[in-house]
A = this chain, B = another copy of it.
C-alpha cells in the first residue's frame, strides 16, 4: 500500500526537480530549493537519491520510460502515416522542456556520465524502433532503401526531423515548438525521405 504513496512522492519530487532545472539550470537547481519546493526534507532527498547527480540520473531514467511509452503507442503499425505520427510526438518530446532541461544538465556534467546515460536511454532506444518502422515499410514496398540500411535511413530521417532544433533549444536560442510546427516538420521529414528513396512503382 505504501509503495504507491512512495511512488507518488517521488513523482512530486522529480516534477519539482524538473521545474527547478527548467527555471534555474543545473547549477542553479540547489538541493535546498528543491526540498522547499517539493515540501521534502534534505534527509529524504539524500536518502533516496544519494547525491545531486544521483537525483538527476533518476530523472533521466524516468524520462527514458516516458519516451518508450510514447513510441509504444504506435507499435505494430507501419507506413508513412505512422512515421509522421511518430515524428510529431518525438519532435515534441525532443524539444520539450523536460528533454531540454535534461540535456542542459548533461551538458553541464564535465564527466560525461549524465550524457552517456541520457543517450543510452534516449537515442539508443529510439533509433532501433525507427529503423524497425522503416524496415517494415521497405518490406511492404512503401520505401526503397537501395543499399542503405534501415539504421542509416533512420538517422537521415531524424536529421530531417529535428536538425539542430534540439541544440538550439538547449542553449536557449529559440522558444519551444508548438504542435503545428512539430506536425509540419514531421510531414516534411517523411516526405523528403520518401522522395530520396521512393518506392518502385
* A107 and B109 contact, CB distance less than 8 A: no
Contact A155 B166 (CB under 8 A): no
Q: How would you classify the secondary structure of chain A's contact residues: helix, strand, loop or mixed? A: helix
User: Closest chain B residue to A108 by CB distance?
Assistant: B108
Chain B: minimal CB distance from A161 (Å)? 8
Docked Cα-Cα span, A101 to B109, in Å, equals 12
Contact across chains for B25 and A171 when beta carbons are under 8 A apart: no
How many copies of this chain sit in the oligomeric assembly? 2
Is A54's beta carbon under 8 Å from chain B? Answer: no
Q: Are A163 and B171 in contact (CB under 8 A)?
A: no
Residues of chain B contacted by A160 (CB below 8 angstroms): 156, 159-160
- Structural contact, A108 and B196, CB atoms closer than 8 A: no
Judging by beta carbons under 8 Å apart, are A23 and B119 in contact? no
Q: Which residues of A contact B (CB under 8 A)?
A: 23-28, 103-104, 106-110, 112, 114-116, 118-119, 123, 155-156, 158-160, 162-164, 166-168, 170-174, 192, 195-196
